[in-house]
Amino acid sequence: MSEIYMPRLSDTMEEGVISSWVKKVGDKVASGDVLVEIETDKAVMEYEAYEDGYLVKQAASEGETVPIGAVIGFIGDSPDAVPDDSGSGSAAPAEEKAEEKAEQPAEEEKPAAAPSAPAAAPAEGEQAARPRTSPLARRLAKEYGLDIEKIQGSGPKGRVVRADIEAAREQGTAAAPAAAPAAQAPAAAAPAASSADDLRASEELKVTQMRKTIARRMVESKQEAPHFYLRRTIDAEELKAFRAQINAQLAETGVKISFNDLIVKAAATTLKAHPEVNRSWVDGKLFQHHRINVGVAVAIDEGLVVPVLHDTDKATLSDISSSTRELAGKARDGKLKPQDMSGGTFSVSNLGMFGIDSFSAVINSPEPAILAVGAMKPTAVVHDGELAVRNTIALELSVDHRAVDGAVGAAFLKDLAEVLENPMRIIL
């Protein structure tokens, strides 16, 4: 009998949602068969079996949120095998165990009593024993404003684990005791309502794993990475003509190059000339990247994902065009794999198709920078000493000041603008 554990399917995943069971109880399973589809913080991914047998139990139902390392099912030698799942549903996930080992909070660090000293009996009215909890559960309970002593644990021996905290939060139970009068009351979790009509006008929406991760990572990026911003408007007349020329030559192949493909390739070309921009600050250490992997932001219904084009500097424009469209399609279908979204060293976010003139993008940490691209628009400019109307594009580079200095970022953006204004340099 083998247990199936909730896998880590992305580097930022902490829990997953059972989207759908592909195999039903009693089905025969071969190694490589898709067992279950799991919604992660980035996409819905397929999880394959690693051995032959029969699915004898689904320990987590569809729609259920499960922490990494928890048991979600069992594979047996026969369809009639009975899993020994005593305590399996309540086993603390591996990540909680690892965290508990690494984190020993002060409240539990008590000096050992002398061997002859009897255990003190609890005072009258005092709770006989505090509930068993994990450090992660205690921290989450504090963040969510929950009283952990009122939460029923589902872990071994009634241990309160992360899943219990999340469940209590969703149910709105186990609110923490009111703070002392002198303390300022925390902001209400739901919008304040002045009337019954106001209450009916709002509803709480279900938050997907992807949306939770986007919210967390954006906050972390803005809090941890000191952003600075560099802006430059380029003359896009030559770029527009260059794109038309390339697409005319590629017409018979079915490949069509977009402005974003040209900008992605130009960014990779410029990064190759400015390796000091292709580095990241991680946990107090500076890492130089020797590969240039450009992420392309893709908006989907569930949020924003950034699939990565690996070795972008070595790819042709046709390769970039084909790969970008393939990855964007996989993103919209929820079929991106972890390797499709990992390893990025720089990102490009383009909102020009929405008519946005310019914007400031949030860095996709631990990458050092992200380029925000606005819409191409006709603008009155001075060209060759005369007033003229020419197409322009506004670029804005968001940079992590821990990894890249201002002058270094400015030199990069200057050269990038020159490459785009002289687009033959993109392919030379």
- Between the ranges 49-53, 60-64, 145-149, 422-426, where is the mean pLDDT highest? 422-426
Cβ atoms of 21 and 62 within 8 Å: the answer is yes
Q: What is the mean pLDDT of residues 385-403?
A: 97
| pLDDT, tens digit, 9 for 90 and up, residues 76-94 | 888 887 776 554 444 444 4
Q: Check whether 122 has a pLDDT greater than 60.
A: no
DSSP string computed for 273-342: H-GGGSEEEETTEEEE-SS--EEE-EEETTEEE--EETTGGGS-HHHHHHHHHHHHHHHHTT---GGGSS
Can you read off the two tokens belonging to residue 97?
A: 């165990």
Residues 151, 136: Cα–Cα separation, whole Å:
14
Identify the bridge partners of residue 379 per DSSP, sorted by sequence position: 390
Q: Of residues 319 and 14, which shows the higher confidence score?
A: 319
- Between the ranges 48-52, 335-339, 415-419, where is the mean pLDDT highest? 415-419
Confidence band of 120 (pLDDT split at 50, 70, 90): very low
Q: Check whether 358 has a pLDDT greater than 60.
A: yes
Q: Of residues 119 and 230, which shows the higher confidence score?
A: 230
Q: What is the mean pLDDT of residues 392-421?
A: 98
Residues 321, 263: Cα–Cα separation, whole Å:
11
Q: What is the mean pLDDT of residues 300-320?
A: 92
Q: Check whether 333 has a pLDDT greater than 70.
A: yes
Amino acid 82: pLDDT: 76
For the question of whether the overall pTM of this predicted structure is more than 0.75, the answer is no
Amino acid 91: pLDDT: 43
Nearest-10 Cα torsion for 305, 310, 315, 321: -20
Confidence band of 202 (pLDDT split at 50, 70, 90): confident
Q: Check whether 112 has a pLDDT greater than 60.
A: no
Cβ atoms of 202 and 361 within 8 Å: the answer is no
Confidence band of 68 (pLDDT split at 50, 70, 90): confident
| pLDDT, tens digit, 9 for 90 and up, residues 248-291 | 999 999 999 999 999 999 999 999 999 999 999 999 999 999 99
Amino acid 226: pLDDT: 96
State how far the alpha carbon of 363 is from the alpha carbons of 222, 273, 345, 399, 400, in Å. Answer: 8, 21, 11, 7, 7
Identify the bridge partners of residue 373 per DSSP, sorted by sequence position: 350, 395
Identify the bridge partners of residue 303 per DSSP, sorted by sequence position: 300
Catalytic annotation on 401? yes
Amino acid 316: pLDDT: 96
Amino acid 356: pLDDT: 96
Q: What is the mean pLDDT of residues 400-406?
A: 97
Q: Of residues 33 and 123, which shows the higher confidence score?
A: 33
Residues 372, 96: Cα–Cα separation, whole Å:
38
Of the residues 227, 274, 310, 401, only one is catalytic, namely: 401
